[in-house]
A and B are shown apart, each in its own frame.
Chain A
Amino acid sequence: MTTLVPVTYKGGVYRHDEIVDLIDDLGGYIVQKHIMAQDVVLQSFVPRDDIDLIREIAKPLAGEVTEAPLVGTEIAVVSPSLEIHHLPHTACDIAEYLRRAGAKTNMVGLARGFGKRIANLNDEERDVINEHDLAVYALGNFEECIRQKFPVLRRGIHVPIVVTGAPDRETLVAIVDPPVEGYVGGIGRIMHRFKRPEELAKLDELVDEVSRTLDARRDVLAKDPLSVFPPRLMAILEERIHEISMLTHPTPVTAQMEGLRLKLPYDSYAPAVRSLEIADGVTIGDIADVTPSRMRNYILIRIKPFSETRILV
């Protein structure tokens, strides 16, 4: 079996359809396509052995292929509030940097994430965060505040968490109990754009921490693979439900590690999605849970593992 690896293709608009076709022909999947003025960015999964072939074909088009460890993941960047104290810097810079590594990021601004005594997390915020593959908590400057409020902000969250804050990594490890999956110290409440080399190095560290955490999850998944590879299901949905092509969202279908978020109204489309046949006699309903998302009225598809369905598409 060929291994698909996450890569980013960056190139010009001119003849980029050739690359799109090539990836398709090689059996790869494109999970996100962005056209910005003259530039095209494709976040995709391609067979490991064919990366050099794509590089070669992209050469005359001045396109470049880079490894992007976070392609096909959806990450929540959790900010204690949407006030000027916490935005736009830190939270937006983190989100932007993760996006460069291929992730689809969503910003979750908590209604009451500030103040060590009054901080809390409501059920909607909890459910929305739980719909992601991973949550990055962008916390503040004081050790004491993080110690007191983080247990409240993580209550009920079962996805992996990476915590950032101004205290150094060792301090964060010491004050977060029970431990979370990742820590990045030295990023607190910052009032300017991340631009100095040491600040950018911190963001690189964050990307490494996030990919390490997700790789651990991927290893677990490899032992009991999903019934269908999410980008594959994404390609099938895009081909079979023509309304998706009419959506104006940047990512009408968002690929996650263990499922998909489909940005169509749940009430009118869920039955059609459930009964959609993807292989001989196998419908989406057989291999996945099609549930309403807490994000607007979208559909959340969670793919079941092989051990549960005994089906591999």
Chain B
Amino acid sequence: MPPLNYFVVESPDATGREAYERIAGDVLQDLDLIKVVDRLHIYVDPKAPIFIAAGMLRHMPRAIRVTDFANINPGEKEIVLDIGDEAYLAPLLQKLWARYGKENVDQPDRFTVVLPAGLAGEEDLEQMVVADPSETLHKDIIYALQYIAPEGFKVRRQYIKDEKFYYVASEDTLEGDIVETMVAPIFAKMGVTL
């Protein structure tokens, strides 16, 4: 695991601390989030019981546009899109159908999409936003934290906005001011104000 810029696991239980360090590393690696998370601080105390994970993301990935994965070849009668990476083909087709109608979008094979010329401007097409990875990224981060946290800790509060995120979970009801009393000091340790 390539090191995050800051990765600390705290726990009163020494064995548990080591185990959670390994779990967090494995989960981030499995879900391919190592490159995305910049700092992560986990505090887990089974006696309280409380699990807190707080951290910062690296810069958010930008939106994916058609030019990022396809070549646009305008012809006299039609515009041919030459797909380089199939990963975004499905959302692209959805967008094209919605914009130009299904009857105008032809897909003769896996890597080619044909549109009638005149219907779409080349510029328009190039700049069309097909997918925004940050949407799913937020979900992925929360899922990863849920996955790292002990399973019995079902009561939870989560937050993710811009680059900061936290996830607090417990078996019992969470105090109303838990964020101020427990999460903010953890952010302070990372040198960040929530």
Interface residues of A (CB under 8 A from B): 80-81, 83-86, 114-119, 140-145, 166-168, 171, 188-192
Contact = CB atoms under 8 A, between A and B. Distances in A.
A115 B154 contact: yes
A142 B17 CA distance: 9
A143 B27 contact: no
Contacts of A116: 46, 49, 152, 171
Contacts of B7: none
Given A116-B46, A141-B20, A189-B19, 11 more contacts: A115-B153, A115-B171, A116-B49, A116-B152, A116-B171, A119-B152, A140-B150, A142-B16, A190-B22, A191-B23, A191-B27
B151 interface: yes
B173 to A, nearest CB: 12
Interface in B140-194: 147, 150-154, 171-172
Contacts of B30: 191
Nearest to A117: B171
Contacts of B16: 141-143, 166
A36 B19 CA distance: 36
Given A141-B19, A142-B16, A118 B171 contact: yes
B20 A114 contact: no
B106 interface: no
26 contacts: A84-B147, A85-B147, A85-B151, A114-B152, A115-B150, A115-B171, A116-B46, A116-B152, A117-B152, A117-B172, A119-B152, A140-B150, A141-B20, A141-B150, A142-B13, A142-B46, A143-B15, A143-B16, A144-B13, A145-B152, A166-B16, A166-B19, A167-B15, A171-B15, A189-B19, A191-B23
B77 interface: no
Contacts of A140: 150
The majority secondary structure among interface residues of chain A is: loop
A288 B94 CA distance: 66
Interface in B33-82: 46-47, 49
B132 interface: no
Contacts of B154: 115
Contacts of B147: 84-85
In the A-B complex, the 6 residue pairs with the closest CB atoms: A115-B152, A191-B26, A141-B19, A114-B151, A142-B46, A85-B151
Contacts of A118: 152, 171
Nearest to A188: B19
A112 to B, nearest CB: 9
A189 B23 contact: yes
A171 B16 CA distance: 13
Contacts of A171: 15
A171 B150 CA distance: 20
Most buried by B among A85, A86, A171: A85
B85 to A, nearest CB: 29
A53 to B, nearest CB: 48
A188 B22 CA distance: 11
Nearest to A119: B152
A119 B27 CA distance: 25
A149 to B, nearest CB: 8
A232 to B, nearest CB: 44
Contact of B46 (A81, A85, A86, A145): A145
- Tell which of A80, A84, A191, A192 has the most Cβ of chain B within 10 Å: A191
Between A85, A142, A189, the greatest number of chain B beta carbons within 10 A of the residue's beta carbon is seen for A142
Contacts of A166: 15-16, 19
Interface string B6-26: 000000010110011011001
Contacts of A145: 46, 150, 152
Contacts of B152: 114-119, 145
A204 to B, nearest CB: 20
A22 B29 CA distance: 51
B106 to A, nearest CB: 41
B15 A141 contact: yes
Contacts of A80: 151
Contacts of B153: 115
Contacts of B23: 141, 189-191
Contacts of A86: 151
